[in-house]
Amino acid sequence: MEAVKDASHLYEVERRARHAERNGFRINELQISPTQKVPWHYHSHVQDTFYVLEGTIRVFMREPKEDVVLKPGETYTLAPKRPHLVINAGTESATFLILQGIGEYDFVPMT
């Protein structure tokens, strides 16, 4: 699949909110149920920084293969072009912020 500028139609979440957007930077909030996920993808130019507000998320990465579990108050940053998948690692909804920048945002879906 090709890169898209808005990936909201590619996967379902319980709630999405955009808290800030400036040229080359944005902050989004996602709430996902225990059965939802952000599918495999990468960003060509921006890094993702995850900050968990509630619940627990697990971020799986490729190149190199790695995974990390994040709880409230914890953060993790991914470099551009690093494929990743985000799941809810708990039994309740998980809410997290994604700080994305600096650069032009895109979402490149993967299988």
Residue 42: the pLDDT is 96
Confidence of residue 35 (pLDDT cuts 50, 70, 90): very high
| Whether pLDDT at 81 is above 80 | yes
Tokens coding 51? 């900050």
Return the pLDDT at 111.
78
Please give the domain boundaries of the chain with CATH numbers for all domains. Answer: 15-109 (2.60.120.10)
What pLDDT score does 1 carry? 66
- The identity of residue 37, as a single letter, is K
- The closest alpha carbon to 25, from 106, 83, 104, 91, belongs to 104
Q: Which residues of 64-91 are buried (b: 16+ CB within 10 A; e: fewer)?
A: eeeeeebeeeeebebeeeebbbbbbbee
Band (pLDDT 50/70/90 cuts) for residue 3 is: confident
Indicate the pLDDT class of residue 89, thresholds 50, 70 and 90. very high
